[in-house]
DNA sequence: ACCTGAACACCGTTCAAGT
DNA sequence: ACCTGAACACCGTTCAAGT
């Protein structure tokens, strides 16, 4: 009764790509542009309609609802990720490049952080990345379900590092970043934990981006080492 | 001009906890209940007001806006996480227990997956977990910024594993889960990658929860091994 | 000190109607 | 086949007004 069937754009046949009218591609790239410019809350059917100089409700001809629009936009994000062929550069380099690429792409499309928790990535571009990742870990020497587990571990790490990073960026939204205000904030939040407070490196707030980069690399190396360990222990 | 100052509930003094009127605690637990029952989109000021048998706009006396409400609710999630004292059980066990606890708590409050990417965790309960985590990795032998890096790596792994898991759960929203329909979906999505398709373990869709558990454990062990490796290499 | 209702500027989606 | 506008049932937030 209260339960809804699972639905997804990828389960429906799209409208015939007829000559007149707008194309789905047009709509999707306008959606991505709007999301990049105004964020997830900035996207509304009315605004998107206006951007395409059409009525808001015209969009419902191409798409069942707003969620489908987001699914389509989300897959565009996956399209931007680059995975070098593992057969050419080896699994570990291939994994490292993918990880950095995923992070950069998400930082360019901060709204994607809100989508990862809302809908599974089932689009063709996500599938392409998944396929490459499988080959990557197969080449590494994993077998059976562990191939998937290794892939999940890699994407988990990247998502988990990048999503909170985006939370910080959008909260401090950009251009008027004030390191001293940030230090005050942290001092206030951690006031009851003097030990923690004493050991926080306050310089990191001068330019948080460089520390984050170091942190990401530290975690990535750890994770890859950990995966490699699985191979020798088997 | 377009830039907003960073704001947070944790930067303001709360209203005096006077005797009459609703207390902030009351409001926060009603918020969490509503979020658990109806999800992030199900929470509206009007519904929350009604639940407290008050006008929707009364809430603005206690809270500046809806985001502050979410910050308060989010910290309640951190309150439910359990971290054994690392001095008693050792850093590795302490980390593993925290990781499992974080995951379970998030699965109980699926709306938290949407918040991780939207606002930093600065509440007192989040700080308590952060403090314990610092001590955990200090005990392990990390020094300086690496203490923080190790902590970030741990939480990144848990968030990154759990957030997409929640996306799946909410997309297939519960009670009418049909394994066969799921297999069809996956077959359709992966149709263009026969190699991938051939090696996907279709049994996993009978009860996805057990596979996820295995996957989480696999990743967790890898990650902890990887961190341990950092210690011996230094 | 606390709460209210009216009002404003928005939403997503449905649907009958137009071409 | 494609697009429209009106309409419905919602939103978050402000603000003057009440007690």
pLDDT (tens, 9 = 90+) of chain B, 234 residues, equals 344 678 899 988 777 666 566 789 999 999 999 999 999 999 999 999 999 999 999 999 999 999 999 999 999 999 999 999 999 999 999 999 999 999 999 999 999 999 999 999 999 999 999 999 999 999 999 999 999 999 999 999 999 999 999 999 998 875 678 888 888 888 989 999 998 898 888 888 888 899 999 999 999 999 999 999 999 865
Q: Among all strands, which nt has the closest C1' to A56 (CA)?
A: D4
For residues B36 and B73, what is the distance between their CA atoms, to the nearest angstrom? 11
**Comparing A1-10, A86-95, B88-97, which segment has the lowest mean pLDDT?**
A1-10
Given a contact cutoff of 8 angstroms between Cβ atoms, the answer to whether A56 and A49 are in contact is: yes
- Asked whether residue B4 is assigned to any structural domain, the reply reads no
Chain C bases near protein Cβ (<7 Å): 1-6, 10-15
> Same domain, yes or no, for A102 and A172?
yes
Which whole number is the average pLDDT over A118-132?
96
Residue B147 lies in a domain: yes
At A220 the pLDDT is: 98
A69 plus A95 within the same structural domain: no
Q: Which one of B118, B173, B215 has the shortest CB-CB distance to A170?
A: B118
Structural domain count, chain B: 2
Are A100 and A22 contained in the same domain? no
CA nearest neighbour of B120 among B8, B232, B35 = B8
**Confidence label for A3 from pLDDT (cuts 50, 70 and 90):** very low
Last residue of a domain, which of B59, B77, B95?
A: B77
Measure in Å the smallest separation between the Cα of A124 and chain B Cα atoms: 7
Question: What's the domain range around B27?
Answer: 9-77
H helices within A172-207, ranges in order?
179-189, 194-199
**Do both A73 and A122 map to the same domain?**
no
Residue B59: CB atoms within 10 Å? 22
Q: What is the pLDDT of residue A18?
A: 62
All residues of chain A having their beta carbon less than 8 Å from the beta carbon of residue B153 are 157, 161, 215, 218-219, 222-223
CB B209 within 8 A of CB B88: no
Higher pLDDT, A14 or A111: A111
Q: For residue B119, say whether its CB is under 7 Å from any atom of strand D.
A: no
From chain B, the residues in CB contact with A146 under 8 A are 218
- Structure confidence by residue, pLDDT tens digits, A146-164: 999 999 999 999 999 999 9
The per-residue b/e assignment along B203-232, b for 16 or more CB within 10 angstroms, e otherwise, is ebbeebeebbeebbebbbbbbbbbbbbbee
A21-67 pLDDT per residue, tens: 678 999 999 999 999 999 999 999 999 999 999 999 999 999 999 99
A50 in the same domain as A144: no
Residue-level length of chain A: 234
Judgement on whether residues A19 and A57 belong to the same structural domain of the protein:
yes
* Residue A14 beta carbon within 7 A of nucleic strand D: no
The spacing between the Cα labelled CA in A26 and the C1' in D8, in angstroms, equals: 30
Q: Find, among A143, A117, A119, A121, the residue nearest to A130 by Cα.
A: A121
Contacts of A121 in chain B (CB under 8 A): 164
H/E run at residue A92 = helix A91-108
Q: A182 falls in which pLDDT band (50, 70, 90)? A: confident
The answer to whether A54 CB is within 7 Å of strand D is: yes
């Amino acid at each position: 009764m209260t339960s809804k069937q699972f639905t997804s754009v990828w389960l429906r046949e799209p409208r015939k790509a007829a000559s007149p009218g707008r194309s789905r591609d047009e709509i999707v790239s306008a959606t991505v542009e709007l999301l990049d410019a105004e964020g997830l809350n900035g996207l509304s059917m009315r605004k998107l309609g206006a951007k395409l100089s059409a009525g808001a409700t015209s969009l419902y001809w191409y798409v069942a609802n707003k969620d489908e629009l987001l699914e389509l936009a989300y897959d565009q994000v996956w399209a931007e990720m680059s995975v070098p062929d593992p057969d050419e550069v080896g699994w570990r380099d291939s994994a490292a490049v993918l990880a950095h690429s995923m992070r950069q792409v998400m930082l360019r499309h901060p709204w994607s952080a809100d989508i990862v928790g809302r809908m599974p990535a089932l689009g063709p571009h996500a599938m392409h990345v998944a396929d490459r990742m499988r080959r990557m870990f197969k080449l590494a020497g994993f077998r059976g379900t562990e191939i998937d587990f290794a892939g999940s571990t890699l994407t988990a790490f990247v998502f988990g590092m990048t999503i909170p990073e985006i939370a910080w960026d959008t909260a401090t939204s950009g251009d008027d970043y004030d390191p001293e205000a940030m230090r005050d904030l942290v001092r206030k939040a951690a006031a009851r934990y003097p030990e923690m407070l004493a050991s926080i490196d306050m310089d990191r707030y001068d330019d948080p981006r460089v520390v984050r980069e170091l942190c990401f690399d530290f975690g990535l190396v750890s994770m890859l080492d950990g995966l490699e360990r699985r191979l020798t222990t088997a």
